Amino acid sequence: MSPTSFNRRDFLVYGGATVAGITLGQVGRRWLSRADERAGAWHEQAVETWATSVCRECPAACGLRVRLMDRTPVKLEGNPVCPVSRGRLCAKGQAALEAYFDPDRLVGPARRVGRREEGRFEPIAWADAIQILTTHLGRARADRRGVLALAAEEQGALADAWTQFWTPLGARVAWTLAAGSARLAPRMGALVGAGGEPIFDVERASYVLSFGAPLVEDWLGPVWTQRSYGRFRRGGGRSRGRFVHLEGRRSLTARKADEWLPVPADRQAFLAYGIASVLLREDRVDRDLLAELGGNLADFEREVVARYTPDNVAVATGVPVVTLLRLARELAATPQPLVVVAADARPDLVDAVLALNALVGALDRPGGVYESAVARTAPEPISAASELSRLASGAKPPAVVALRDASPLRAASSPHDLMPLFEHCDFVVSFSPYLDEAASVADLLLPTHTPLESWHALAPPTTDTLQKVACAKPVAVARLDTRGLVDVLGATAAKLGGDVAAGYAWRADADVVKAELDRLWGLRHGTLYANVFQTEWVQQLETGGWWVAPAPSREEFGEAALRAGGWMDPFFASGAIRRRLAQRGLTLVPPAMPIEAAAANAGGLQPAVVPASFQRAADQPAASREFPLRLTLFTPACANQMGSPNQPVLFELLGQPEGSPWRVWAELAPETARAAGLDQGSPVRITSAAGSIDAVAMVVERMPLDTVAVAYVPALKPGGRWAQLMTADVRSLWGRSDPTGPMNVRVTQV
């Protein structure tokens, strides 16, 4: 028997020893290990090879170089010619190997037995599984009850193939929106007119003011961000860049900043408009440039200067007037200032940050803000979070819910208790290869290949001026009875027949990728992923109007692109923003939130005011006395939001450098900790009106006194053996409410 073959008989031999009879389990791991050992026994020495793939542990799509011993992947490295990573890899990328070897992976298709909450499944053949899916989809279409398809956001040929399957069925296709520059594009369009996504040229800036953007963690793309930050700090023949960061907690980015200001996210827009007010009030802007850009500057200036006085801003944010004035003057004095913002920030904060960039002359210049070459023409994708909120609020449920992966259910915005969301849905199908949140609510499991076993063709999120398409073929043979996603959809479409079969031409993932490579060949510009020198050479050629084909023929181009890991076009013509502004002018968005009311309710943010948690009990409302601290939720950079939830190396990194691995932690100010009788590392219980969780206290200097920041690490009781060890899910403190809403808690020692 081949070490990589795995039939239904083998499945049943040891199925009873697995989790619910549907995962590989320890017995299966040993069986496969022995089979691999037998298959490779004739080698005098293991054969080492290298192959190219794409990391899918987050949306960034970094290139991978995979080391294989006797065709088995044993180590992952960054692809040195990938323009996103340039040979680097983050912790989640390194942990992707654990997803391939996950002992609790789904072995093959299975259907639920009994009620959903019982968690019992039985294995079935692929033909039977596809017939079950076809039956439910046909019934939903006939009854006009609707279908909801959910997946992690992705751009590219395979994502289009997913959408093309569901469209004839009248399904709503929703996505777990990635925290990338695409989220900022609508506000960028409001400022400068419809166009592309904003590109922040961090590495060439001389001064970066960050409003919650985690520059040394996972902002826009973790590896690209850290590479850009490193070059920004090294200077490259110029002075080391200065970095000022605003965030409500002392994150890793805050620790690395030259200056950290502990301003909560809901108050940061006030500070941004306050800085704009000082720049305009003291005439520290380039009036000639702003006049050239045109627009509504006069109206914006009148409102911001009148309302956002330094005193008002200081009261609303807790930032002293002298600090506010200094920040504005530093921005104006540095040669290449840049203001950046978290991709998932509130719209009013994004408007304020983009307005600041316009005032300091950062639009369309090195070390500033550019616009992507490809304009956004498609509407904003439907949010999976909004669809789940509709289900939670009692909206009419769809008959069928299809989950390509677990990201919609694992997102911090999703309710902790998932079962009630789908209790009125007739049928839920999961295409995830893992024992994860999708499997916990599904009636039918159709496990697809893991990333190392899969074909890839996707456009990485916009981070720089290059257009990119990452593509790769499988680097490892499928070890279990899994299939490619398009293989499953194609077989289902053929079974459904009619317009679904006629409109869905794909039958295999490889067909989709090869068609995408044919499309790239036909563009007649760009080149394969290449090193920095060759990329610069192609850019110079294309700037001069030349294009040299990277391969003699279409077939050879496709093979070369799969070996390189992708295609890119380095040509970029700057100036798009200013050309558009010459026609329409700037549209600076005035602040919508009244700062006067915010200043009146600033509470613990004022340095001279005692926070609510330390006021006399008689002076507080009853609810505040019971739950005196404001809860802030954050997601550690090492928490996997897309791939396998069962990666022990990532749990080992939790809480670093000061916390405890494998534990959720809560960050408190020293004064708040002393008032509760807590020390560094103390076990604590965080309680809300809806429930409680246990965590480890982390005492952080200069944290807001009325705030406790708690790490969100997905906890999955029916998950794999390591995922089960995480038992504290901060989302449970909201009960069935939206986890992104405000929440007050109390913290006590256990």
Q: Is 320 in the same domain as 390?
A: no
Q: pTM score, two decimals?
A: 0.88
Sites in the chain below the pLDDT cut of 50: 1-19, 603-622
- The answer to the question of residue 347 being in a domain is yes
Give the end of a domain, one of 371, 398, 426. 371
Give the end of a domain, one of 310, 343, 371. 371
DSSP conformational letter for 556? H
Q: Is 434 in the same domain as 324?
A: no
Q: Is 714 in the same domain as 613?
A: yes
Q: Is 302 in the same domain as 350?
A: yes
C-alpha–C-alpha distance, residues 86 and 75, integer Å: 17
CB 90 within 8 A of CB 64: no
CB 216 within 8 A of CB 233: no
Q: Is 77 in the same domain as 16?
A: no
- Coil, strand or helix: which one is 209? strand
The CATH number for 95's domain is 2.20.25.90
- DSSP string of 319-347? --HHHHHHHHHHHHHSSSEEEEE-TT--H
C-alpha–C-alpha distance, residues 331 and 214, integer Å: 20
CB 469 within 8 A of CB 566: yes
- The answer to the question of residue 11 being in a domain is yes
Q: Where would I find the beta strands (DSSP E) of 442-493? A: 444-445, 456-458, 467-472
The CATH number for 440's domain is 3.40.50.740
Q: Is 423 in the same domain as 295?
A: no
Give the end of a domain, one of 371, 406, 427. 371
The CATH number for 721's domain is 2.40.40.20
pLDDT at site 2: 39
Torsion sign (Cα): 651, 699, 741, 186 = negative
pLDDT in tens, 425-479: 999 999 999 999 999 999 999 999 999 999 999 999 999 999 999 999 999 999 8
- The answer to the question of residue 489 being in a domain is yes
Q: Which domain holds residue 19?
A: 3-45
- The answer to the question of residue 524 being in a domain is no
Number of domains in the chain: 5
- The answer to the question of residue 162 being in a domain is yes
Q: 297-307 vs 268-281: helix axis angle to the nearest 10? A: 110
pLDDT in tens, 511-556: 999 999 999 999 999 999 999 999 999 999 999 999 999 999 999 9
Residue closest to 342 by CA, chosen among 195, 210, 465: 210
Q: How many CB atoms lie within 10 A of CB 178?
A: 24
pLDDT at site 414: 81
- The answer to the question of residue 566 being in a domain is no
C-alpha–C-alpha distance, residues 364 and 579, integer Å: 10
Residue closest to 57 by CA, chosen among 94, 85, 88: 94
> Quick check: bond before 408 cis, omega within 30?
no
Q: Is 199 in the same domain as 122?
A: no
Integer angstrom CA distances of residue 451 from 230, 474, 513, 738:
29, 8, 14, 31
Q: Is 303 in the same domain as 420?
A: no
Within 8 A by CB and 6+ apart from 452, the residues are 53, 66, 73, 96, 97, 99, 100, 474, 475, 476
C-alpha–C-alpha distance, residues 479 and 246, integer Å: 47
C-alpha–C-alpha distance, residues 323 and 495, integer Å: 67
Q: Is 231 in the same domain as 361?
A: yes
Residue closest to 653 by CA, chosen among 147, 22, 218: 218
pLDDT at site 341: 96
Q: How many CB atoms lie within 10 A of CB 308?
A: 26
- The answer to the question of residue 597 being in a domain is no
Q: Is 222 in the same domain as 335?
A: yes
- The answer to the question of residue 336 being in a domain is yes
Task: Compute φ and ψ for 278, nearest 5 degrees.
Answer: -65, -45
Strand partners, 2: none
Q: Is 122 in the same domain as 21?
A: no
Could you tell me how far CA 495 lies from the centroid of its own chain? 35
C-alpha–C-alpha distance, residues 83 and 466, integer Å: 8
CB 745 within 8 A of CB 687: yes
The CATH number for 308's domain is 3.40.228.10
pLDDT at site 662: 83
- Coil, strand or helix: which one is 62? coil
CB 276 within 8 A of CB 307: no
C-alpha–C-alpha distance, residues 284 and 337, integer Å: 13
Q: Which amino acid is at 506?
A: W
Q: Is 676 in the same domain as 722?
A: yes
